[in-house]
Amino acid sequence: MGYRLLIIRKGEEERFAGVKNLRDLSRMIAGQGVGWSDAEILGHNNLNVLTAGNVGTLMDMLIHSRFDYFPRGALQISTELETHQNKPVVMEQGLLLRYPNMTALYVNAHNLPLAERLRYGLKTAFQDGSFEQFFNSHPSSIAAMQNINLDKRKVLNICNPILPGWVPVNNGKFWLEPWPDKYQEDACHKSE
C-alpha cells in the first residue's frame, strides 16, 4: 500500500512526464478521501491535497479538474480502473510515490494465545519462505508488481509520519526494497 500509483485524466500524460521531483509534484493537487491516512501523509510531505467522499466521487472530481491526480495503492489501482473503465482516466506510467507502510493484524488485548499463534505462524512462514512464495504467486500481488514496474518509474520517496515506531523500517528483508536511511529516522515517523 505504500507504493502509490497515480490515476490521472486521460490526455494529461505529458504534463506528468515533466514531474522530476516532489517540488514539481507539489505544484499539483492530489485527491484523497476524507479521513484517509494518505491525506495526512501527503500533507506532511508538503503535497497539496483535496479531500472528499468515496472513490467514485473522487474519480468524478478528478475528471472535472477539481484536482490533478489520485494516488492509489498498487494493490488497488487495477480494480479501480476496471470499475471506472468508462471514465476518461488512466494510470500515469512514469511516477511512483513511495512511503513505508504495512498491514497489521490486531486481536483483542485479552486474547494473548491468538496473538502469539499469529506471531509464531507469520514468523515461521517468513523464515521458511512460504510467505514470500504466497505473496509472489497471489494474483493481486502479481498485478501490483506489474503496475509498480520500478525500472520504468521515477520513484519519489516520502516520509510516513503516522507509521508506528515498532514497524521494522530498517530491516530490508521485510520490504520490496530497503528504505533509504533518511526514511528510517525518528523524525520521519512523527508529526512535526
Q: Please indicate, yes or no, if residue 29 is contained in any of the structural domains.
A: yes
Say which CATH number the domain at 20 has: 3.40.190.10
Q: Please give the grid coordinates belonging to residue 105.
A: 493484524
pLDDT at 165: 83
CB-neighbour burial class of residue 183 (10 A; exposed 0-12, middle 13-18, buried 19+): buried
Which residue from 105, 120, 97, 131 is spatially nearest to 2, judged by alpha carbons? 97
- The model's pTM is 0.86
91 membership: H or E segment, kind and range: strand 89-91
- Residue pair 4/98 in contact (Cβ under 8 Å)? The answer is yes
95-130 pLDDT, tens digit per residue, is 999 998 888 889 999 999 999 999 999 999 999 999
Instruction: Indicate the number of domains in the chain.
Output: 1
Domain of residue 77: give its range. 3-102+146-189
Separation between Cα atoms, residue 132 and residue 41, nearest integer Å: 28
